[in-house]
Structure 1
Amino acid sequence: MSSLLHLAAALDQPDVQDAGSYVELARLAERGGLDFVTLEDSPDPPGTDALAVLCRVAPATRRIGLVPTLTTTHTAPYRVRAAVATLDRLGRGRAGWRVDVSGDTEEARPSGGRPAAPDGTPRYGTGEETGSATRPWEGREDGTAVRPGGGAVVRDPAAGRLPGHDRAHPAGSAATALQDGGPMPLPGPVPGDCVRVVDATDERTWSGAARHADVALVRAATPARAVAVRDELRARAAGHGRRPDTLRVLVSLFVDLGDGEYAAAPGHGGGGPRPTARGPLYRGGPVDLAELVASWHADGVTDGFHLLPAEPRRDLERLVNGTVALLQHRGLFRTFYPGSTLREHLGLAAPAYRTAPRGKAEHR
């Protein structure tokens, strides 16, 4: 477990279409030094287009990580990869991808995408689809890749194709819902640099998340549940040949800071989050929330928290000015960003290339 806490927050604002509002909240979160912000995507107009909004946020911020939820089930994987690559270039290495799958056939209609599973049930191969959909970022067969600002690429001007196009790994996998076989049409981020975030609350996602995810989000109302899931995920990660401490496990917690500085209501705050239909909920003030976060981290329960504000503008402001300030004062959370990329914020090294170099690479 890393020595400092990791904190992230959701920017979701129901019925808010103004990108400027999201920019304002992201800047507030950045002022607090949060690792990253997340934004859910909605397939139904006029729902939020998470990628488009965060592409507006990227040039208006400098350090905070930007993680949209993108569904792979009904969208060709190469399109998802190209979208995340665009955000990563705009954010200069700050993009992540919260992977989601869906069994809802209606979600496929706006994109003309693929149908749901034959039996109509949701697809729970989230982690496996993460690996399949991002595999082409992990190196071409000759080991070269396009890097931001220039780098080694393979050129074939006479063929009139993208560098290394004929040597790119296929995008699809017959073992998952991702059946598209074409290579990525645009250069991706530095191979493997995209931070992969997976909701690992459901046990059916554990194996894939342990194998492929950089960050696992877990909804847990008690320390015992949180530590049990974290230990299971890390044990499985070790079984896949990973170092367990390269997987960051964050507790997702709904927070309602409407009580301001007052003590938390019974069953919340100092008494712990209360289970609800949406997930564990904390209701109280920022001081008690800081105590809860600090105590769970001190006990080795979690690497940090992904906080979902009940009222985004009000609660995020109280989170940054109250909870985060207290944690910083106690030396539990950063007071500045030591790096510029999301991987650096999370203390994660860039993965090694999975393919050995082969042949000569011509430099741009």
Structure 2
Amino acid sequence: MSHGFITAIEIDGAGGDPGAWRGPEVDPRAILTGELAVRAAQRAEAAGVDLATFADALEAPDDVPDRVSVRLDALGLAARVAPVTQRIGLLPTITVTHTEPFHVQASVATLDHISGGRAGWIAEVSTSAEAAAVIGRREPAPAAETWREARYVVDAGRRLWDSWEDDAIIRDAATGRFVDREKLHYVDFESPTFSVKGPSIVPRPPQGHPITAIRVSTPEALEAAADAELVFLPDSGVLSDQVLELRENARRSVTLAGPSVTLTSDQVVGPLVLVSAEVRPHVDGVERLASSIEEWAAVGVDGVQLRPASLELDVPLIAEQLLPVLRERGLAGSGQRGGSLRGRLGLRRPVNRYARSVR
């Protein structure tokens, strides 16, 4: 299955610029009602953007006077956007270090159901002593440990999504049976830090598995990204090296999985890779940004995640000016195709590992 060059925007408060909320075009109250996020997602969707990602962090509000140091929960904000959009993918950031794995998968599965199969999530970790103190659940841990645990969370989540077979809901009014219990399964997952018996409380998501993404910011995250289907890499001078390392790690994972894993000729080994860059088209201009994206595409990435400095200023420019330029250069499709996010990205729907038909 093939995909075109992928475009994504990040939604983070009023924008990536800490002072974006002060602009005359922004109603600061709209940050906490979700209206800024809704408006940005709808504009992006209408223009053909493929994904909207939602930033999140666990640190407590700081005392810098001119910065928005409060935020809405990313998963809740994505759920706010889901019913008022139709095609754009929705990927909230979830910090798994301080969140129960069972609740992570149930929440993401719920988002996939209410969005009609457009959900994913960005797995993140926290090594911050401040965040650990604010939440009070556990002591801080180094990146190697937190990313190792994150990989277990990803694995457990996929198993729990498979704990319901696709046809487990039967809605048999005559017998009063809504669910066929024979098609629910224990997962009996064990890791060094948690265990989950299952099954999930949420039926299998429309996509089978919502898209799992990782934002690479450390060497440990780069290694963990081999388990992801979508990866965000920072714009850097070693971009091409990171793309090669990601795909080599993924090939190694497939090899270690053994002969039970088979790949078809049109199946890409490794995650889809997007360059993540903060952008200011209202300052730097659209043509300059389009040229940068063209350079990134030349090193073999699959798309770009644009982090607007100001949602109200930059998203309209991305929608009305940048996307048409990218289409002219063959770097963006119409974006009007509906269906699931997996289908939009050219990813197959996973087979359920517990279904009787695959045993």
Give TM-score, length-normalised by structure 2. 0.78
Tell me whether 1:331 sits opposite 2:336 in the alignment: no
Tell me whether 1:291 sits opposite 2:312 in the alignment: no
> Which structure would you say has the larger RCO, counting Cα contacts within 8 Å and 6 or more residues apart?
2
Distance 1:2-1:186 versus aligned 2 partners, 3 A rule: closer
Please state how far the C-alpha of 1:27 moved relative to its aligned partner. Answer: 0.2
Give the letter for the 1:322 counterpart: Q
The residue correspondences of 1:30-179 to structure 2 (distance < 5 A) are 30-43=45-58, 44=60, 46-104=70-128, 106-107=130-131, 114-117=137-140, 123-125=146-148, 128-140=151-163, 145-146=165-166, 151-153=167-169, 163=181, 167-170=185-188, 172-175=189-192, 177-179=193-195
Distance 1:184-1:337 versus aligned 2 partners, 3 A rule: same
1:87-106 CA distance string (max 9 Å, x none): 11111000111111113355
Match of 1:269 in 2: none
Give the letter for the 1:343 counterpart: R
Gaps of 5+ in 2: 15-27, 62-69, 255-262
Tell me whether 1:238 sits opposite 2:251 in the alignment: yes
Give TM-score, length-normalised by structure 1. 0.77
- Count matched residues: 322
Please state how far the C-alpha of 1:19 moved relative to its aligned partner. Answer: 1.1
Give the letter for the 2:71 counterpart: G
Name the Cα RMSD after superposition: 3.3
Contact residue 237 and residue 244 of structure 1 kept, 8 A: no
1:147-182 CA distance string (max 9 Å, x none): xxxx24599x99999835872213x5323x444555
Aligned equivalents of 2:77, 2:5: Cα separation in 1: 27
Please state how far the C-alpha of 1:38 moved relative to its aligned partner. Answer: 0.8
Contact residue 125 and residue 205 of structure 1 kept, 8 A: no
Give the structure with the larger helix fraction. Answer: 2
Worse-matched range after superposition: 242-251 or 84-93: 242-251
Aligned equivalents of 2:349, 2:179: Cα separation in 1: 28
Aligned equivalents of 1:250, 1:292: Cα separation in 2: 13
Aligned equivalents of 2:141, 2:306: Cα separation in 1: 35
Gaps of 5+ in 1: 260-283
Give the letter for the 1:136 counterpart: R
Contact residue 8 and residue 51 of structure 2 kept, 8 A: yes
Aligned equivalents of 1:307, 1:126: Cα separation in 2: 28
The residue correspondences of 1:187-336 to structure 2 (distance < 5 A) are 187-190=203-206, 192-210=208-226, 212-222=227-237, 225-241=238-254, 244-245=268-269, 247-259=271-283, 284-297=284-297, 299-336=298-335
The percentage of aligned residue pairs carrying the same residue is: 29
Contact residue 165 and residue 352 of structure 2 kept, 8 A: no
